[in-house]
Amino acid sequence: MSADTNDVLRSVRIVLPYHLRNLAHVGTEVALTVVEPVTMRRVLDALEAAYPMLRGTIREYETGQRRAFLRFFACEEDWSHEPVDAELPRSVIEGKEPLLVIGAIAGG
Amino acid sequence: MSSVRVLVGTRKGAFILTSDGKRQDWKVDGPHFAGWEIYHMKGSPVDPNRIYASQTSGWFGQLLQCSTNGGKSWEQPGVKPEDATPSWPPAKSNRFLYDVSPETGKPLTTHQWYDGTQHPWEFKRVWHLEPSLTDAETVYAGVEDAALFRSTDGGKNWHELAGLRGHGTGPNWQPGAGGMCLHTIILDPADPGRIYIAISAAGAFRTDDGGVTWKPINKGLVSNMIPNPTAEIGHCVHHVAMSPARPGVLFMQKHWDVMRSDDAGDSWREVSGNLPTDFGFAIDVHAHEPETLYVVPITSDSLHYPPEGKLRVYRSKTGGNEWEPLTQGLPQQDCYVNVLRDAMAVDSLDKCGVYFGTTGGQVYASADAGDNWQPIVRDLPGVLSIEVQTLA
């Protein structure tokens, strides 16, 4: 995403599940620069732009929908079903809290 | 000196087993892609160090991986950091898009669902990768829901060979218990236009024009679990094998029955002979003796383990019908593993090496065409697939 001089840039923290960290060759948490308004769509766009190997692993390729067995948590709330263009919680926008991408728990 | 590289796909990662031509001492490398299901890996006959791998997950979907250095390192084709784009939707790499009708833009066809209704094709995973015999950049992918895709740029972009689904019987295909998967792809070394594929539970199909048009090749198959046991399609073909040295002669392990065709699949006859059970998944042909073939009989469709708890490979040196059990080095009591359809392969050394993997995580090898076996490794995750590369 290109930014112009009037854009407000935010550094957003994302915590990825184990397998996606390995795929992207990153640690537990990554920081991304996102232009306000900071929404789920913009954060995931920035994530996939920075780490293209993650394309298709969080959102379905064709529909852009969240994959069924993943959830998005922020500030101890489930944001999985919120509109993707809704602004994320202030603590996430200001980098005080991370956005968590969580894989559904299952055995085997 | 020659060497061999065994590519093992498992439920929790990929492993690469290497040995010299004696095939007695082995190095085990892995897991690669730890924790992911690796349905299949296969190296290019043109460039053996180029290996394609199908990496899949119920959580994160389907990824394709490619190595150009024999499995030392991997990358997703077309997904290098410099390929990054700033917005959705992403580039086409790693995408398996079913063709739609050019007139209506709607799905090309539907298939039969478990309840008898029609159901749209939905991509789930890649079961089998078959690199071209002549071009390292070209590779075929057999996927679930059943379709055949081809990439001509090393896996960056995939295009469906839609004539397979579109030839007319597609609406009658239906999934087997393991899903509706295209699991077998055989490229004819003598005829670049000829490709064989097999689908559970639709049957076997052949193209003679490089994938444009297809026809079912199931005449002679008898499946008592379908309403018309000799129907043109609907057969649960588990695997098909062909000796590259004798194209056109095919061997099939069907759900039940081991079958043989001497006319490129136009007709089949049963060669189960004296097998203790003719249910099974894996089948392969000796690298130098096209009448010598191998199966691993499994008790039944209800009991997916070897009869009597004895793991036995059966070998026929007569092209079927007459079978001998091969037991030396294999467990002959309390063994209740399965050997899946893509989990057997042969090398091309002299003597021919035979390899298979089990759902219990063992990989067995025979360096003498099946007379004697040894476990290369015993405690891997459940083995989904085995391929072998014979290296100069």
What are the tokens at B237?
């073909």
B25 class by beta-carbon count within 10 Å (0-12 exposed, 13-18 middle, 19+ buried): exposed
The answer to the question of residue B82 being in a domain is no
The answer to the question of residue B85 being in a domain is no
Q: State mean pLDDT over B363-367.
A: 98
Whether B88 and A56 lie within 8 Å, measured CB to CB: no
CA of A43 vs chain B CAs: smallest distance (Å): 11
Each residue's pLDDT tens digit, B23-71? 999 999 999 999 999 999 999 999 999 999 999 999 999 999 999 999 9
Whether B59 and A64 lie within 8 Å, measured CB to CB: no
Q: Hey, of A42, A53, A60, A101, which one would you mutate to test binding to chain B, going by the most B CBs within 10 A of its CB? A: A53
Q: Which residue of chain B has the CA closest to A46?
A: B86
C-alpha torsion B75→B77→B79→B83, nearest 10: 130
Contact B358, B331 (CB under 8 A): no
The answer to the question of residue B226 being in a domain is yes
Each residue's pLDDT tens digit, B115-169? 888 898 999 999 999 999 999 999 999 999 999 999 999 998 999 999 999 888 9
The answer to the question of residue B84 being in a domain is no
B378 class by beta-carbon count within 10 Å (0-12 exposed, 13-18 middle, 19+ buried): exposed
Q: Quick check: B196 pLDDT over 50?
A: yes
Comparing CB atoms, the residue among B76, B79, B95 nearest residue A61 is B95
**Confidence class for position B84, pLDDT limits 50, 70, 90:** low
**Confidence class for position B87, pLDDT limits 50, 70, 90:** very low
**Beta bridge partners of residue A30, listed in sequence order:** A14
| Domain span including residue B226 | 3-77+90-391
Parallel, antiparallel or unpaired: strands A99-103 and A9-15 = parallel
**Confidence class for position B178, pLDDT limits 50, 70, 90:** confident
**Confidence class for position A9, pLDDT limits 50, 70, 90:** very high
What is the helix (H) or strand (E) element at residue B112, kind and residue range?
A: strand B110-112
Q: State mean pLDDT over B244-249.
A: 95
- What are the structural domains, with CATH classification, of chain A? 9-103 (3.10.20.30)
In three-state secondary structure terms, A6 is coil
With a pLDDT cut of 90, the percent of chain B lying above it is 83
**Residue B223 belongs to a domain with what CATH number?**
2.130.10.10
Number of domains in chain B: 1
CA of A45 vs chain B CAs: smallest distance (Å): 6
Instruction: Please tell me the distance from the alpha carbon of residue B278 to that of residue B295, in angstroms, as a whole number.
Output: 9
Tell me if ipTM is over 0.95: no
Q: How much is the pTM?
A: 0.94
Q: Quick check: A5 pLDDT over 80?
A: no
The answer to the question of residue B41 being in a domain is yes
The answer to the question of residue B83 being in a domain is no
Q: Tell me the H-state helices in B176-286.
A: none
Instruction: Please tell me the distance from the alpha carbon of residue B96 to that of residue B89, in angstroms, as a whole number.
Output: 14
The answer to the question of residue B253 being in a domain is yes
Whether B84 and A52 lie within 8 Å, measured CB to CB: yes
Residues of chain A found within 8 Å of residue B76, distances taken between Cβ atoms: 53
Parallel, antiparallel or unpaired: strands B125-131 and B118-120 = unpaired
Whether A64 and B89 lie within 8 Å, measured CB to CB: yes
Each residue's pLDDT tens digit, A63-86? 889 999 999 999 999 999 999 999
Q: State mean pLDDT over A8-37.
A: 95
B127 contact partners, CB below 8 Å, separation of at least 6:
B39, B40, B54, B142, B143, B144, B181, B182, B183, B342
Q: Quote the mean pLDDT of chain B.
A: 94
Q: Determine which of A51-55, A73-77, B181-185, B195-199 has the lowest per-residue pLDDT on average.
A: A51-55
Contact B18, B8 (CB under 8 A): no
B72 contact partners, CB below 8 Å, separation of at least 6:
none
Distances (CA, A) of B391 to B70, B195, B232: 11, 25, 41
Peptide bond into B229 cis (omega under 30): no
